[in-house]
Structure 1
């Protein structure tokens, strides 16, 4: 990354930001494995620094990645950092960055969310945290991984949302930071697990939250949280 920064005339502070962001990308990818949201090298993570997207490489176990393995591409997909090939899901990541204000993206193959993606076209609003994702989470129609078709479907599913499911595939969430994007992924997986669990009880149908209640929750969530 130092060689790239020197050749491209990137300032020292931006280079340092890229190095820290790459470390955060790797840390988030490893966390997704440790938390059981991905298996092996499935799923991927990225973060944007200016017009460069730092993204996990294709087919490399996350525990083997170090500072020298950084992969960075421009918004049109041109690799400008590193020698490793970026994730095969790069078209999906870049489409989201070009279309939204996302600064970070987490894509997983989380078990419960993937299971729900095979059952419905929209995640039932089983919990008020649905509001934290912008409303009921849509399911993007199935398309081959890494394809422009998948990227286009994801963009439609994300309209007005910060997360979606990919049919028979997994999840995608974005945020202003990697921590926020990851938290949204974890919340989405948890909501899917809750709905599947409640739906499995014989003779009972889960109660769902109406739009007015979700709006009420969304208003309250805007003021939630604090910086320690």
Structure 2
């Protein structure tokens, strides 16, 4: 059983090849959709007990199949020659503490702006429910540190997304597509809140916790069956 898991999540396996292709495509999309600039931000995906992660300081459009990079849940390199993202402690903390299968970290402009203004993003839209509730802001800590990872985990309690103060966003999901979609939704809600609060003499209405929970229940049946 152990050998089979190792084979399925090793370099060259079909599962790893597909996951790496999806990871690179997702990382490139964070750039094209304006969620990161240059090589900021990072993406990871879990295949068995192996975590595939973007490397540090390498432009996403330069990543190729041969650049596949995998580490264990303890951070030990399993394969690949490039240096992992400096935010590896943050990614691994999420995988060890949750059932996440994919993590997206960005420096999205509106979300980062909100992280400097409030301790949490108010429930300005019902899609707050898709992120588990009001999105908290993790206190600032130096990037790439265990302190930042710990602050992030506190902010993620009962949530699948959080803001990092003066830094950016962290979102996880069951798939890379879900993690990316949640990231885009968070950035949109931050932009919405900033827009609404910029009107002089007016304040946006905020949904109650009960209204957010009601939406959460309804979202469980959203989409196509099967």
Name stretches of at least 5 consecutive residues in structure 1 with no aligned partner: 1-5
Report the 3-state secondary structure (helix = DSSP H, G, I; strand = E; otherwise coil) of the residue aligned with 2:7.
coil
Corresponding position: 1:10 with 2:7:
yes
2:19 is matched with 21
2:213 is matched with 215
1:225 shift after superposition: 1.1
> How many residues were matched structurally?
222
1:225 is matched with 223
1:56 is matched with 54
Corresponding position: 1:78 with 2:105:
no
- Choose the corresponding residue for 1:129, options 127, 149, 152: 127
1:198 shift after superposition: 0.3
Q: 2:163·2:169 contact (CA, 8 Å) conserved in 1?
A: yes
Counterpart-to-counterpart distance in 2, 1:211 and 1:226: 27
Q: 2:137·2:163 contact (CA, 8 Å) conserved in 1?
A: yes
1:158 is matched with 156
1:129 shift after superposition: 0.3
Runs ≥4 residues deviating over 3 A = 11-14
Report the 3-state secondary structure (helix = DSSP H, G, I; strand = E; otherwise coil) of the residue aligned with 1:193.
helix
Superposed CA deviations along residues 161-194 of structure 1, whole A, max 9, x for unmatched, are 0000000000000000000000000000000000
2:168 is matched with 170
Counterpart-to-counterpart distance in 2, 1:88 and 1:110: 18
Counterpart-to-counterpart distance in 2, 1:106 and 1:213: 27
1:12 shift after superposition: 9.0
1:64 shift after superposition: 0.2
Counterpart-to-counterpart distance in 2, 1:194 and 1:48: 32
> Structure 1 length normalisation: TM-score?
0.94
1:227 shift after superposition: 6.4
Counterpart-to-counterpart distance in 2, 1:168 and 1:177: 27
Report the 3-state secondary structure (helix = DSSP H, G, I; strand = E; otherwise coil) of the residue aligned with 2:121.
coil
1:31 is matched with 29
1:11 shift after superposition: 4.6
2:67 is matched with 69
Counterpart-to-counterpart distance in 2, 1:118 and 1:12: 39
Superposed CA deviations along residues 5-30 of structure 1, whole A, max 9, x for unmatched, are x9x96159981000100010000000
Counterpart-to-counterpart distance in 1, 2:207 and 2:76: 44
- Choose the corresponding residue for 2:182, options 184, 188, 199: 184
Task: Give the root-mean-square deviation of aligned CA atoms.
Answer: 1.7
Counterpart-to-counterpart distance in 2, 1:25 and 1:11: 17
